[in-house]
Structure 1
Amino acid sequence: MDMLKNERVNNLTTAVIFGFATFNFFNSVGGMLFGDWFSSGEAWAWSAFWTSLVVYAVLIVVAWWVNSMAKG
């Protein structure tokens, strides 16, 4: 964990986690809005949306925790 105390490594790690979380969330929302209409006819797959939202929230908390490691 000492590596995360390096500010440059910490900022890069935080950015990667935040970027992945954001991409994953909006990719899921885009799939919910457009993908299901074309594949199975089931628009608004809410279970996928809520799952993606929970994953997004957890990854944001992890990114916040990683970012706080540099200060601790």
Structure 2
Amino acid sequence: MKSFLFSTDNERGGVMLCDIDTLEDAVEYLKERFAGVVRVEQGKDYWDEAEGFCFQTGEVDAQHQGEDSST
């Protein structure tokens, strides 16, 4: 069981406890289930409507490819 914290554009949101394994799948589900989802978090990883996916666990998404991680 995993937990995902989500926020909406009207300053509402909540915590979803579920059997969904990935942040990507959770975002897809929450956007279908609730209107105005703007942010979903799982630990240090998150999806934001303006920024897209950001993974802090060593994974790199398309927007961060090519950046030097040593600086």
TM-score normalized with structure 2 length? 0.31
Structure with greater strand percent: 2
Larger relative contact order, structure 1 or 2 (CA cutoff 8 Å, min sep 6): 1
Larger helix proportion of the pair = 1
TM-score normalised by the chain length of structure 1: 0.31
